Amino acid sequence: MTRLSILQYPDERLHTVAQPVQQINQDIRRLVADMAQTMYAVDGIGLAATQVNVHLRIILVDISEKQNQLLVLINPTVIKMGGSAEFEEGCLSVPDVYETVKRAAWIRVRGLDLSGKTIEIQADGLKAMCIQHEMDHLQGMVFVEHLSPLNQRRILSRAQSTKSHRTPIR
């Protein structure tokens, strides 16, 4: 397995709309394993393929404390959602930024698992938020885009100044 690089906001590649996975083969299974290793290595609870610069409709979610309940959704589709809840969100592509985002309180999603079997899950709370957050990535959207224009400019300015102060690796 390989630890993958995570794109950092405001990288334009984060705004690429992901394409459906046509076939679940060894390459897709290897990608999912690498994504899981990457997510767990940085204590993430969710990761979309878009974030590792692979523009396919794949998301991973694991909100368990022991990091042992990995949910893999390939070509996920929202079937139903309802209610309203506010969550404080962060993102591996927007390090050290946490903001309150309003989302559906519960969600029902259908997708494929790694064996190609159709699965349907209903989630609420943190899991629902995480699935919605990762599915946004598949649409080329970063969570900060749910915020006010003022907050978006503040976060963008901070991200750009952080990027300009990084020492290049030689």
What amino acid positions are annotated as catalytic residues? 134
CA gap 80, 3 in Å, rounded: 34
CA gap 127, 38 in Å, rounded: 19
Please, are residues 72 and 114 in contact by the beta-carbon 8 Å criterion?
yes
CA gap 122, 18 in Å, rounded: 23
CA gap 162, 160 in Å, rounded: 5
Reduce the DSSP state of residue 9 to 3 states and report it: coil
Phi and psi torsions of 37, nearest 5°: -60, -40
Phi and psi torsions of 73, nearest 5°: -120, 120
- Give the closest residue to 92 by CA, choosing from 139, 36, 27: 36
